[in-house]
Structure 1
Amino acid sequence: MDELIEAARDVQEQAHVPYSDYTVGAALQTADGSVYVGCNIENANYSNSLHAEEVAIAEAVKEGHREFDALVVSSGARDGVTPCGMCRQTLAEFCEDDLPIVCDAGQGDDGSDEVTEYTLGELLPDTITEEMLE
């Protein structure tokens, strides 16, 4: 998990956040062990902004991946940020309820990474699914 945390932290350097100055990075691991990263990209029309998790999953899906093992989300504030509702629903399109989502809360006094771990199902219970649309 340490490599995913580091990848989520590193990609924040690429974030475009002229309005909020709040960087977010995400690292998504596929079933075959590949890692895709994304950072937030703000737009003056906030509703057109891209979230780090969206960017990471879009890259992975574009490359043909449809099975995922873990997601790490990190902000520059190291505040334990979780994916927003929109990102949770996007993840639910491709991921099972048991997908681990690790939220970076920085480093403890001993230098170890402090994280909070959820499952997608905990963060988005009773999600909208393809079956509901039929």
Structure 2
Amino acid sequence: MDKVIIEKLVQEARNVMKNSYSPYSKFPVGCAILTQDDRIYTGVNVENVSFGATNCAERSAIFTAVSDGERPGFIKAIAVAGDTESYLPPCSICRQVLVEMANPQTPVYLTRHDQQILETSVGELVPLAFEKMEM
């Protein structure tokens, strides 16, 4: 993927972090998803005092895209941003949602506070994915 596009996607994820609602953890996360038709959807983590009701930035972005009509396979790339010392990967629940909505080779760009970017893929994040079953 073109370096300019990667940097734009990562910057979108970093920019949207300011909209995070994280009063309990004080741990804002931003996410930006590039679709197959080059649209960008963003999301942030939204916390709740009942922590089980909290939603991650990655799922917020994915669910917004699905609400807009996107369907499995729509993700061309995804970037996750946080103000962390190490690269910030999606949680396991978000990884499983990515398995449903992206392809194993879909690039995932992880960031950290010093602006460095690590490229991985959905397949590398979830090597033995629980995949959709035929009904």
Q: Give the TM-score normalised by structure 2.
A: 0.89
Aligned equivalent of 1:125: 127
Amino acid of the structure 1 residue aligned with 2:15: D
Q: How many residues align?
A: 128
Aligned mates of 1:126, 1:2 — CA distance in 2: 29
Written as runs of structure 1 = structure 2, the 5 A alignment for 1:94-109 is 94-107=101-114
Matched, 1:27 2:27: no
Written as runs of structure 1 = structure 2, the 5 A alignment for 1:1-134 is 1-66=6-71, 67-77=74-84, 79-107=86-114, 113-131=115-133, 134=135
Identity %: 31
Aligned mates of 1:69, 1:84 — CA distance in 2: 19
Q: Is the 8 A contact 2:78 2:109 kept in 1?
A: yes
What is the CA RMSD across the aligned residues, in angstroms?
Answer: 1.3
Amino acid of the structure 2 residue aligned with 1:103: L
**Deviation digits for residues 83-131 of structure 1 (CA, Å, limit 9, x no counterpart):** 0100000111111100111001233xxxxx4111111111101211123
Which segments of structure 1 move beyond 2 Å, counting only runs of 4 or more?
A: 76-79
Q: Give the TM-score normalised by structure 1.
A: 0.90
| Structure 1 residues not aligned, in runs of 5+ | 108-112
